[in-house]
A = this chain, B = another copy of it.
């Protein structure tokens, strides 16, 4: 299967890549005969890339690109245009409208609402928070935040950092991002949320929006959306769900029912098709139940682009005006093309297969004496565990012992990358006082087999046994 990575240190590689550019900057020759050289250059750089399409790349919340996604991405690149008007992007503007409708139907049970493709999950989440602000404080569009009491965004301790990044850029400030305590599974504790809202109101702050998570980054936890939605309704807060990672479970009725009950009650949802599902990076979706809100929040009606006197219905240019961006990659087309090729059933098979592999390897880990599986189960397709090498087996699990185990985990990763035939991440969970553990995540493409799981587990044992 070849290597996942042929690792070299950054300094020599940087030198080589710099020299190639330097030569081109200095060159006085006319360009045009470069094709042959560039073929070699292309092969060279690809050989130095990480092979994310390898079945043993289990390092990030994304993996290989599905061939149908790659074909669609090539079409997008080749047709080189912007998804801002029907005039220049008829197919891309329409496939975005169509996909957003189908996704609202799937997530909310209703086609109505609004939505847009965004460059990544962080931006998709920020769309949610800006809409929340606009719903309750529409005047802020004109006046800014200067005369308002602090607006508060709630998110769990285990949630993705994009909530904080957005709060910074939106002028809310990090101290108005309240991180709600999670249970040992990594899911937000609804009672803690409720208490925080009451406390902030008492302080004169204004609770604005809850950012729930479906599939946290490290543990794969799904927040209890039913309970959180009840609180948001009662307290009159916008409920956004960051389903960037776990959202792909929507294509399996079983996995949806087991993990995402209440998702249809959220006001807005962000989902990355480029994560679990194997769409090409970037393919990030933002949808909301609230109709026409994106235009109201973001529109400025630029006259040079969105002429009201066009030769086709101007509603087809609305996606450009709804967007924060002006130029925007037609990312929706990639999902449209994959969905047409694979069908809902194909998507279902992909995610169920990935979840099955997570279940298989978790059970295997949990049955062994030389492994510790955090939580005794997997969540989403995340498996969080430690391998305990012989010298640490059978000892008291003191704080020093755990620290040592975290160090073993780090060393396993380092050796893994040197050998290069697989790639799996590790992470501590500082707020739970948990040292480095192996975080194995299983993206759905390319499909993995039980044999792949056996391989990576045996490999971890062999990498770690002498540490």
Spell out A's residues near B (CB within 8 Å): 8-11, 13-14, 17-18, 20-21, 23-25, 27-32, 34, 37-38, 41-42, 45-46, 48-53, 59-60, 62-65, 68, 70-75, 77-82, 86-95, 97-99, 102, 119-123, 126, 130, 140-146, 148-151, 160-162, 164-165, 167-176, 217-218, 272, 274, 280-282, 284, 297-298, 300, 302-304, 307, 309, 311-313, 316, 324-329, 333, 336-337, 339-346, 349, 410, 413-414, 417, 423, 425-430, 436, 439
Whether the pair A81, B300 counts as a contact (CB closer than 8 A) is no
Which residue from B10, B25, B31, B86 sits with its C-beta under 8 Å from A102? Answer: B25
Cα–Cα distance between A203 and B303 once the two chains are bound (Å): 31
Contact B327 A27 (CB under 8 A): no
Q: Bound complex: CA of A281 vs CA of B49, how far in Å?
A: 22
Write the nearest CB–CB distance from A27 to chain B, whole angstroms. Answer: 4
Residue of B nearest to A309 (CB): B410
Contact of A325 among B24, B122, B345 (CB under 8 A): B122
Identical copies in the complex: 2
Q: CB-CB < 8 A to A9: which residues of B? A: 312
> Contact partner of A122 among B46, B95, B281, B324, CB < 8 A?
B324
CB distance from A118 to the nearest CB of B (A): 9
* Interface contact A77-B280, CB-CB below 8 Å: yes
Is B41 in contact with A175, judged by CB distance below 8 angstroms?
no
Determine if A340 and B24 form an interchain contact, defined as CB atoms under 8 angstroms apart. Answer: yes
Contact for A300 among B31, B164, B282, CB less than 8 A: B164
Cα of A34 to Cα of B346 in the assembled complex, Å: 11
Query: Which of these, B72, B90, B95, B423, contacts A50 with CB under 8 Å?
Result: B90
A10-B90, A38-B337, A49-B79 in contact; A98/B21 too (CB < 8 A)? yes
Tell me, in angstroms, the Cα distance from A171 to B268 when the chains sit together.
21
- B88 and A52 contact, CB distance less than 8 A: yes
Residues of chain B lying within 8 A (CB to CB) of residue A327 = 62, 120-122, 272, 274, 281-282, 284
Given contacts A71-B38, A120-B328, contact A80 B342 (CB under 8 A): no
**Closest B residue by C-beta to A25:** B344
Please indicate the chain B residues that have their CB under 8 angstroms from the CB of A30 in the complex: 345-346, 349
Give min CB distance, A98 to chain B, whole Å: 5
Whether A13 pairs with B80 at a CB distance below 8 angstroms is no
Closest to A152 in B: B144
Task: Evaluate contact between A25 and B88: CB separation under 8 angstroms.
Answer: no
**10 further A-B pairs in the complex, CB-CB below 8 A; given A21-B340, A122-B327, A130-B169:** A10-B86, A24-B339, A24-B341, A30-B346, A37-B341, A80-B274, A121-B326, A161-B300, A307-B427, A311-B413
Q: Are B82 and A343 in contact (CB under 8 A)?
A: no
- 21 A-B contacts, Cβ less than 8 Å apart? A10-B94, A10-B312, A13-B91, A13-B94, A14-B94, A24-B343, A29-B343, A31-B346, A41-B340, A42-B337, A50-B89, A60-B88, A62-B81, A119-B120, A130-B168, A165-B300, A168-B297, A217-B304, A218-B304, A303-B427, A303-B428
Closest to A301 in B: B161
Docked-complex contact A146 and B146, CB < 8 angstroms: yes
Across the A-B interface, the 7 shortest Cβ-Cβ residue pairs: A144-B173, A171-B171, A119-B119, A31-B346, A304-B427, A145-B171, A65-B80
Which residues of chain B come closer than 8 Å to A423, judged between CB atoms? 88
Q: How far is the CA of A309 from the CA of B414 in the complex (A)?
A: 10
Q: Which residues of B contact A349 (CB under 8 A)?
A: 30-31
Q: Which of A8, A164, A346 has the most CB of B within 10 A?
A: A346
Q: Smallest CB-CB separation from A106: which chain B residue?
A: B25
- Least distance between A2 CB and chain B CB atoms (Å): 14
Residues of B within 8 Å of A77, CB to CB, are 65, 70, 73-74, 77, 280
On chain B, the residues within 8 Å of A312 by CB distance are 9-10
